Amino acid sequence: MPALAVWWWHDQRGFLVGASVTLMSLYAAIVGTKVIAVLCGLVRRHALVVDSAELRALADDSLPLYTIQVPMYREAAVLPDLVAALERLDYPRDRIDAQLLLEEDDLETIACARALTLPDWIRIVVVPPGTPKTKPRACNHGLISARGEFLVIFDAEDRPEPDQLKKAVAAFRRVPATIACLQAKLNCYNRSKNLITRWFTLEYTAWFDLYLPGLHAIGAPIPLGGTSNHFRTAVLRALGGWDPYNVTEDCDLGMRLERAGWRTRILDSTTWEEAPSRWITWLKQRSRWMKGYWQTHLVHTREPIACLRELGPWKMALMLFTVGGQVGSLLINPLCWVIGAAWLVHQWPLFDPNQPWTVALVVATVALLLSNLVFILIHLLGALGRGFHNLVPFALLLPFYWVLLSIATWRGFLQFFTAPFKWEKTPHGVVRAAAAASIATGSVPAAVELKGARTAEAVIVIPASTPLTFVRRAANALAIAVVVAAIAGIAWRTPVWMDVATQIKFAAIRMDAAVIDKERKLDVSWLAHDRVEYEVELAPLPAASATASLVVSPVEPPARPVVRAVAFLKVWDGEWYQLESRTYTESAKGLTISFPLDGPWTSTDCTRPWNRDCLRRVRAAGLRLYGVDAAERGMKVVDVRALGAAPTPALEARITSAPSTAERFRMSEIAFALSRTYANPFDPDEVDVWGEFTDPSGRVARVPAFYTQDYDRSQDVGAQPVREVLKAVGEPHWAVRYTPMVAGRHTWVISGKDRAGGSFSTPPATVTAADSQRHGFVRVDADNRHFSYDDGTFFYPVTYNIRSPRDTIDERLGKIPQPNEALGSYVMEDFITRMGTASVTVGRIWMSPWFGSLEWRRDVTGFHGLGVYNLQNAWRLDHLLRVAADRGVLLEFALNHHGPFTEAYDSQWRDNPFNVRNKGPLARPQEVMTNPEALRLFKNRYRYIAARWGADPTVFAWTMWIEVDTVSDNNSATTAMHLTLARQMKEQCQGKQVISTEFCNTPGIEELWRAPEIQYTQMGAYSFGTGLVRTFQERARELQYGKPLILEEYGGHAQGGSQKWIAHEIHDGPWAGWMLPLGGTPMPWWWNLIFANNLERHTKRFADYIAGEDLRGVVWNLQQREVIGPEKLMSLIRAGSDRAYLWIYSRPVTDFSVRDQYWQQAGTAMRTYEGRVKGFDALAKDPGALFPAVAGLSVAIGDLGLTPGRYAVEYWDTWSTTPPERREIVIPAGAFALPLPELTRDCAVKLKRLGE
């Protein structure tokens, strides 16, 4: 403050200019944030919508207990209407816990409540005396005895839509568990009473229908409204309820939720309430709101470092603008009006048309005028969206309302310093009082209607939207046209008013030799041209610069203004090529400089040679000039264009490498170069190349060729964090891959054609394949229940999910060390190496934007949009397949996942290049199943995948989609797309790998599962409260289509749980799966938990148990039986005529169920598990005893069909690496109980009949 005073004293003009510019900047930032949020709310609907089908699907007996809080103080008059409104709620009465929160000294309301015949689901909760006497304090008292899983607050005059509670339940079940609050929309049922209620309704409509959803869209914390907040009660209790001293406790709670890591969404359901209809009532209410917002702002910025740590920079900035900015903008408004008015009348001492700082005042005035007009338009659109056509004329008068808002804000701001906790209560029941009076006089106001025979039972009915007559329609259109025209006019005239030049000057950088830099973004094909040409304008040389011109010698005339030009081309993937030229053409305007596109362009890091293929990936071109005579001289690049016809050679193929020998079941590669380059070598309509291989028996395999690039891999240890670096090696080229299926001499030919009419075919060549001990590709076995290799070897997949280097869902499990995802394939290579050591035989990788995808947005490193593939990721997958082959691991590739094509959970739709907003073909993600252009792009990508990896025996399978049922509910379209692409893959993959798809914990589409193109079934198997074994059994029953079944995700709850609980389920999964009719082990999800805790040791133990086993050719008797003995143990049994396998487990630990709703299941299951295992630690190498030592156990197996005789028995401790205990027993005919050793935890048993 002293410094400001000194500034004012010495430079009043400068002080006023600085203050004005600062205020304008702050105002612009606050208003701009609000406009952006509202526009987001307009452009896209961000409120949660629950349709009638979802409501009908809610069974009453599945609905949770719901607490309704209604805080009241001296509002006896509205109590009958309140009870009537609650009774209209469409929700089972035995599942409502309604609390009337009444202050102890409010004798009138208490007496009225007790006099009414309240239903048993509404109870009176008397709030004991205390300070402060506020609504949040009363709510906190009610929270103590709240019994519901969810809790909502209504004000006394509220009229919620009858289905609001059901909508909230459906929405809570749909959204992630991090959504702790749903804010229903608020609006007014007495909107037409007078001018203030009309303005208030316009404001409420824009706030709840547009602004709050927009805040969610931009990731801002959401200030809650004072009513209709639906909470998860447990979260509310964990936060400590409301701040009783904050006069806008709702806004404060919204900020606290966000800081604690919870989120709020807007629910598309309206609660109608009473707008203040008296000016003094409105003023007191609005002053309290603004005082509370300021209070909230100060509370949350009291410790700014902590707030920044909890919210992050973006959310904290938005919180400041949303909460403090709401108050600040209304405080600044009067100052802005004064400054603008002063400039308009030319009477303010700051106004001086000859001074440049006058522009600041013009900017301020124009910005203020534009923002007011934009806000008028926003409120107009909000009213029209609600059908409030009669309010449209009043929207044009909103600037007068904003004057009143500023007055109320200044009143609340000043009151903050004198009575910060004073709660000026808003009286309710004005509408009801007027309605009751109208009954006595025989007239009913237009805004309300009363029903009921007695006045005491009168009920307010929400008015319908105003009928849209022709006159009203015309008036609405005219109002919008006027506002839009005003905005456009001001924006068009602004440059003239401000007298600001619209031409951009590119000044030279002051150096010894002047340098001018300018680049232009490009999106063209350069391949058809032979040179790039830059057209440049140079500003006139200043007269004084002639003597400073560069000269060759003192006696020669001034040299040319440019002595050196360097052009540069920026290529996708971060590469930069440049070429110097000393020749150019001068003209009256400037210079024309030409560079040959054939080179010799050089890479700035000298790692990759230039070739014409690089032109396909040019994303920007630029020019740098050296030797400009004057440092002040400016340059403008008028145009950058590719010109001249590039020569088109005959289409030929040059073989660069081809093996002469090969091995049976080992993939070989033939590399070659084509004489022509193509704008998109990945599009078979542009260039179509195939390899044709004939084996010794005359059988022909025709496989597509693919375009590729080799890379060297290294680590940039100087980066933070250390990252993987791929450097291109050599030129891009073509390749075709082939795996000999038989030994002998194979003949091959490569042929192709392009769109320009060229074609070629190479002379026949041969490769001789030696026989080998390799197994070949994995197939569905002849028994249609299992898998086997080409050579007939039985294959039982032991599986892991290794989707990508990092999984953010793991963070829900606590502090799990996460790998450095910047190291990419290095991390994945480590995963595969550890899997091989643990005898894991299949790992599933998603081809997703996080790792391995071929297509994504061009602005993401390595990607080039749709139809042009990420060759770096393709090389990474090649490398991982080589690593996997060396480690004895097969890889399953998931070709698509739900995230890019859904707007629900895990959504990546906004960034998806298929999105029409990203210039893609799809307006909605569901259209991916039916859009012809999307199908064409999918077929091209699948062709490339088939060409590159379809001949690799290390590829176990193709999964067409992950959780495809979350993408589209059009089953026929989903089936058709699957079958079309599956048939193409079978045709183009030389290895004919098995194909499947995955559904998200639903049985899927029967027609699709029965189709022969889908060769095995798969499904997620998270327990969801039903227990691991029961879940696996249910999935096995649901997907019995005469095909192998693999459970592709499991481990606790999909939303997480405790590490120990999930580790225990990861251990149990393979043992349970072996005893059930599954084609392989269930596939655990939590790979970072596994590798961080060395849990793959459990998988290794299981793999040792099944080593050498073959499940084919046996009629299996699958049973679940109790273990005979004192402990609650169960057994799963797979028995044949000469062998049997058993897994003994603790049913209370492995197969317990919980009855909570979806979002509570994980927490309840975790607590149940921890209460039952006591000291057992599933993460430890020696986990300890799961239950007290128990001897004398046995399992009845005499009726399972085992042939009587001598058997070798092995008892395996599933948690350790100790050798199994071995015995010999004799199984007689008839009843027999297999004895078990003394147990303290799980045990697996293996029986095999010995020869006589």
Distances (CA, A) of 1186 to 182, 1053, 1145, 1174, 1190: 42, 22, 10, 8, 11
Pairing label, strands 778-780, 96-103: unpaired
Averaged pLDDT, 196-215: 90
Query: Does residue 154 have a pLDDT over 90?
Result: yes
Distances (CA, A) of 1214 to 478, 886, 1245: 78, 28, 10
DSSP label of 224: P
Q: What pLDDT does residue 385 have? A: 84
Strands, sheet with 1243-1249, edge to edge from the N-terminal-most edge strand: 1117-1122, 1129-1135, 1139-1146, 1243-1249, 1205-1212, 1221-1227
Confidence of residue 480 (pLDDT cuts 50, 70, 90): low
Confidence of residue 443 (pLDDT cuts 50, 70, 90): very low
Confidence of residue 533 (pLDDT cuts 50, 70, 90): confident
d(CA 208, CA 1025): 37
Q: Provide the CA 317 distance to its chain's centre, in angstroms.
A: 22
Listed residue (358, 195, 214, 336) closest to 278, CA to CA = 195
Averaged pLDDT, 1061-1083: 97
Averaged pLDDT, 99-108: 92
Q: What pLDDT does residue 133 have? A: 85
For residue 841, what are its two tokens?
Answer: 């035989």
Q: What pLDDT does residue 436 have? A: 34
For residue 1207, what are its two tokens?
Answer: 């058997």
Neighbouring CB atoms inside 10 A of 92's CB total 16
Confidence of residue 916 (pLDDT cuts 50, 70, 90): very high
Q: What is the pLDDT of residues 775-809, one digit of tens each?
A: 999 999 999 999 999 999 999 999 999 999 988 77
Averaged pLDDT, 397-407: 86
d(CA 312, CA 261): 11
Pairing label, strands 687-694, 700-704: antiparallel
Helix and strand numbers (H, E) in the chain are 30, 47
Listed residue (70, 62, 265) closest to 168, CA to CA = 265
Prior bond of 80 cis (ω within 30°): no
Query: Model-level pTM?
Result: 0.62
Averaged pLDDT, 199-217: 89
Is the separation of the CB atoms in 349 and 13 below 8 Å?
Answer: yes
d(CA 232, CA 182): 9
Is the separation of the CB atoms in 1099 and 1161 below 8 Å?
Answer: no
* HSE (side-chain half, CA atoms, 13 Å) at 879: 20
Q: What is the pLDDT of residues 1043-1064, one digit of tens each?
A: 999 999 999 888 788 899 999 9
Prior bond of 132 cis (ω within 30°): yes
For residue 523, what are its two tokens?
Answer: 């999106």
The residues that bridge with 1235 in the sheet, in sequence order, are: 1194
Rounded to the nearest 5°, which phi and psi values hold at 884? -60, -40
d(CA 931, CA 937): 10
Confidence of residue 491 (pLDDT cuts 50, 70, 90): very low
> What length does the chain have?
1252
Average pLDDT over the chain reads: 84
Q: 376: helix, coil or strand?
A: helix
Averaged pLDDT, 1152-1181: 84
Q: What pLDDT does residue 645 have? A: 78
d(CA 646, CA 652): 17
Q: Of 24 and 644, which is predicted with more confidence?
A: 644
d(CA 242, CA 256): 10
Q: Provide the CA 517 distance to its chain's centre, in angstroms.
A: 38
For residue 178, what are its two tokens?
Answer: 């991090």
For residue 971, what are its two tokens?
Answer: 């089953």
Range ranked top by mean pLDDT from 498-512, 1052-1066, 1077-1091: 1077-1091
Is the separation of the CB atoms in 227 and 197 below 8 Å?
Answer: no
d(CA 13, CA 224): 43
Confidence of residue 667 (pLDDT cuts 50, 70, 90): very high
Residue 512 sits at the vertex; the CA angle it makes with 506 and 515, to the nearest 5 degrees, is: 25
Percent of the chain residues past pLDDT 70, beyond the cut: 82
Q: What pLDDT does residue 459 have? A: 44
Q: Of 375 and 1134, which is predicted with more confidence?
A: 1134
Confidence of residue 546 (pLDDT cuts 50, 70, 90): very low
Compute and round to an integer the Cα radius of gyration of the chain: 37
Query: Does residue 635 have a pLDDT over 70?
Result: no
Q: 662: helix, coil or strand?
A: strand
d(CA 736, CA 721): 37
Query: Does residue 1093 have a pLDDT over 70?
Result: yes
Domains of the chain, earliest start first: 514-544+558-643 (2.60.120.260), 653-770 (2.60.40.10), 778-1107 (3.20.20.80), 1114-1252 (2.60.40)
Of the given ranges (89-103, 310-324, 455-469, 1021-1035), which has the lowest mean pLDDT?
A: 455-469
Averaged pLDDT, 954-974: 95
For residue 534, what are its two tokens?
Answer: 């830059």
Helices (H), 442-596: 470-498
Pairing label, strands 179-188, 229-232: antiparallel
Confidence of residue 612 (pLDDT cuts 50, 70, 90): confident
Q: What pLDDT does residue 707 have? A: 98
Q: What is the pLDDT of residues 305-343, one digit of tens each?
A: 989 988 899 899 888 888 888 888 888 777 767 666 655
Percent of the chain residues past pLDDT 90, beyond the cut: 52
Q: What pLDDT does residue 513 have? A: 30
Confidence of residue 501 (pLDDT cuts 50, 70, 90): very low
Is the separation of the CB atoms in 958 and 895 below 8 Å?
Answer: yes
For residue 1010, what is the enclosing H or E element? helix 1006-1010
Q: What pLDDT does residue 188 have? A: 92
Q: What pLDDT does residue 901 have? A: 95
Distances (CA, A) of 411 to 197, 252, 404, 661: 21, 20, 11, 90
Averaged pLDDT, 575-602: 77
CB within 8 Å of 792: residues ≥ 6 apart? none
Distances (CA, A) of 468 to 188, 476, 553: 19, 10, 84
Q: What pLDDT does residue 221 have? A: 92
CB within 8 Å of 969: residues ≥ 6 apart? 926
d(CA 886, CA 1101): 21
Q: What pLDDT does residue 860 have? A: 86
DSSP string, 676-690: S--S-TT-TTTEEEE
Averaged pLDDT, 462-487: 55
For residue 8, what are its two tokens?
Answer: 């004012």
Neighbouring CB atoms inside 10 A of 371's CB total 19
Neighbouring CB atoms inside 10 A of 859's CB total 11
d(CA 177, CA 168): 14
Q: 92: helix, coil or strand?
A: coil
Averaged pLDDT, 689-704: 97
Q: Of 370 and 85, which is predicted with more confidence?
A: 85
Q: What pLDDT does residue 348 have? A: 45
Confidence of residue 277 (pLDDT cuts 50, 70, 90): confident
Averaged pLDDT, 26-49: 76
Confidence of residue 263 (pLDDT cuts 50, 70, 90): very high
